[in-house]
Amino acid sequence: MVDKLLALYGLKHHPFAQRIPVHALWSPPGTEAFFFRVENVVLDGGFVLLSGEPGLGKSKILHLMSERLNRLGGDVVVGVMEYPPSSMSDFYRELGDLFDVNLSPSNRYGGFKALRERWHEHIQATLFRPVLILDEAQEMISRCLTELRLLGSARFDSDCILTTVLCGDNQLPERFRCKQLAPLGSRIRTRWALEPWDNKALLSFVDHSLEAAGAPHLMTDELKITMVHHAAGNLRILCAMGDELLRAGAEQEVTRLDEKLYLEIYAQSGRSTERAQNRRAER
């Protein structure tokens, strides 16, 4: 079905799929300013927080950030933690893998010391702090978050030897209000709390996605406006609608997607955008 869809519309890739080539990713308003602040944190170390409700594009922003930091040159080391809910022992195992340090999870002090030595060596050689990126950080246990704060702090908290980017839903900033994690929360140097996108931003996303996929005229302007109006400011909902419209268009072999197709799928069948959201969330 995907091959038929791509061939029918001459697409380089599915513009509303979850997996998009990094060069085709949409850069939301405010991204450049946020990345500039993150790059400054990489020079001195510390914590960065990206938060927002599900479906606003946080993970794609992290993808763009990782690519941008890697383009700064081989001097910047970026590690991405794949499993935030780890126990303490697995937490150290993963850090050891990310930063090429042979650790014994049974010897936490030895792991603590070895990681810090590796980071100090990296800073002396490059002047950049290593970067650790954690998506879905709201799932991380409090002990591991505290351990990150201790690992990255040196010389009586006057020197940061690690840049840590924490990304999660709106539960994450709330966790830093508790007594145990307040010391970490007070050390966050830059924050970006995403809000539902306005219609102008969502329309920009649709136009960019179609342009990058090689089919800027695939949808009528009226259809784009209708989709944006019913997306509730949420990129995930918008992509779910776009995906369903493309598949329906390919099935009917229509040459251009229009508002009539939207009405056939959602209005006449009695389905709403909430169903599209649920479908996307289940994947």
DSSP letter for 197, please: P
Q: Are 158 and 17 in contact (CB under 8 A)?
A: no
How far is the first Cα of the chain from the last one, in angstroms, to the nearest whole number? 17
E-strand stretches of 16-130: 46-51, 78-81
Largest CA distance in the chain: 67
Q: How far, CA to CA in Å, does 175 sit from each of 52, 64, 73, 151? A: 14, 26, 34, 20
CATH topology for the 31-193 domain:
Rossmann fold (3.40.50)
| Average pLDDT along the chain, 283 residues, taken 10 residues at a time | 74 92 95 95 95 97 93 83 92 94 85 94 91 96 96 91 97 96 96 98 98 95 96 96 93 91 77 54 54
Taking the whole predicted model, whether its pTM rises above 0.75 is answered as yes
DSSP letter for 100, please: T
pLDDT at 188: 96
pLDDT at 202: 98
pLDDT at 8: 80
